[in-house]
Chain A
Amino acid sequence: SQQGEEDPQALSIQEGENATMNCSYKTSINNLQWYRQNSGRGLVHLILIRSNEREKHSGRLRVTLDTSKKSSSLLITASRAADTASYFCATDANTDKLIFGTGTRLQVFP
């Protein structure tokens, strides 16, 4: 079973616009991570946010975490066509393993 659910399932935007993806999870966590996957290939780690952090930035990425609502959001600012990919959140559910969500498919049109 999936720990996380991403919303929306799919998102289409124009280059230059911002893209926001949300993730909800079910159990308490030590950390939450976001990964990106291009065309069914391997996943690439984007950012990790710990349960005692509320916001984190990395380049054009901004991640927020609300542990009281068991939710996180990933914001990609000034999107580019190269950002087209699937994005997954993953939580550790206080274990030594990662549990991935269902993913958001982002399409950025030039």
Chain B
Amino acid sequence: ETGVTQSPTHLIKTRGQQVTLRCSSQSGHNTVSWYQQALGQGPQFIFQYYREEENGRGNFPPRFSGLQFPNYSSELNVNALELDDSALYLCASSIDRASYEQYFGPGTRLTVT
């Protein structure tokens, strides 16, 4: 158990819809990172939040956005869903910057039809 939880576990959406995924980090962890993992691939970095401010972004379009709240919860929002957005979405928290040991949640499996 890493102490990081995600909801929902599974989600099915239709192309063009919007989705919000949620993550609850370990207390005291100031950094949360979000990753997209396609089947058979390694996690791809989407973005990172440090003390509620975005602190780095990977090669993902602006329709991927996020929020981090003072209570160690965070959200990943994806607008205008595309079929290629189907993946496992992972959040990870760390005490400081995301380049150190990260604690991953179990992930949300998103299927876009």
Interface residues of A (CB under 8 A from B): 1-2, 4, 30-31, 33, 35, 40-45, 48, 88, 92, 95-103
Contact = CB atoms under 8 A, between A and B. Distances in A.
A98 B33 contact: yes
Interface residues of B, number: 32
Contacts of B99: 30-31, 92, 95-98
A88 B107 contact: no
Interface in B30-66: 33, 35, 37, 39, 41-45, 48, 50, 55-56, 58-59
B38 to A, nearest CB: 11
9 contacts: A41-B106, A42-B107, A45-B101, A45-B102, A95-B99, A97-B45, A98-B45, A99-B45, A100-B43
B78 interface: no
Contact of B98 (A1, A48, A96): A96
Contacts of B67: none
Contacts of B58: 97
B48 A96 contact: yes
A-side binding surface: helix, strand, loop or mixed? loop
Contacts of B4: 42
A4 B39 CA distance: 17
B2 A98 contact: no
A43 B58 CA distance: 19
B103 interface: yes
B106 A42 contact: yes
Given A97-B48, A100-B42, A41 B107 contact: yes
Contacts of A41: 106-107
Contact of B44 (A42, A95, A100): A100
A88 B90 CA distance: 14
B73 to A, nearest CB: 17
Nearest to B6: A42
A96 B104 contact: no
